[in-house]
Chains A and B, each alone.
Chain A
């Protein structure tokens, strides 16, 4: 087939394309994935029984704000990486800022704490399960997002996979805050982040294979 023939083939009877496809696909995947994560959480774990009193504590909302801001920044990263020729510009900074803020808060908490308590503040009661539960809860969003990004046009596949993984980790962590009893900044800054980095690494690993187009 000559190129002119291909041009005619592609343009004949061409349909209108609705704008905003990237945002639509990603929000749909996020919505479906979040429902999946909530169902998974309801099935496997339970909502912390003191949730009604926990929501009155500032630290609960600091935790929520931490994962939500990481989620928002990584959504931007996913949207940009899904479209050819769009640069990340300040998005890496927006990803780093909440992490630095939480680490700063954690350092302050540790310095002010009784030295005997520091280990407890760092490890909490659930450090061994937290990252894996966050990663587990991220799985539905991870799968849905990979589907969404695959239907767009990422050109940096490893990075796009990692961003999709991180976003799904943030959604998983957001759902996990409803279960998790830990309220110390050092715990959140390390183990929550660690949990989000698990799907990030898997995304970076699978991206080049799964996101090709």
Chain B
């Protein structure tokens, strides 16, 4: 049976797209996971968000060639997914997540007591981060990723670079006030 040239071309194009998608997975899956985890603070939820992000990419694989910066584009996709999930799961108490996360964070070279104290301190810091206004909190979380520039953060959030800088400035001041206030209460 004769195979149509168009069918052969489709097969070849599909093969190329799948290879490009797998390359994106290999290159950016861990970055997307960390972005998702920094907001969701749950390993399985973060992994689900990453998978959903790549499924969305698969559905729009025809436009892959038009994307200038795949990394920022992918971070933006997973960011939207994560915020959507966070919004839907807003009723869930986050205190348990914070304590769990603080225990997970690396504390090499510390004794057991120091590790427990560090975990407690980090849990407190994270709870203060959660009390920041949404806009400031989002910028502060994204700015923690060393590989993201202010221009890229602005692109992910859909705001201007100057807005990113002013928000990070306000976030730092608010964090300082919150932690100072909590220290004075002790």
A and B physically associate: no
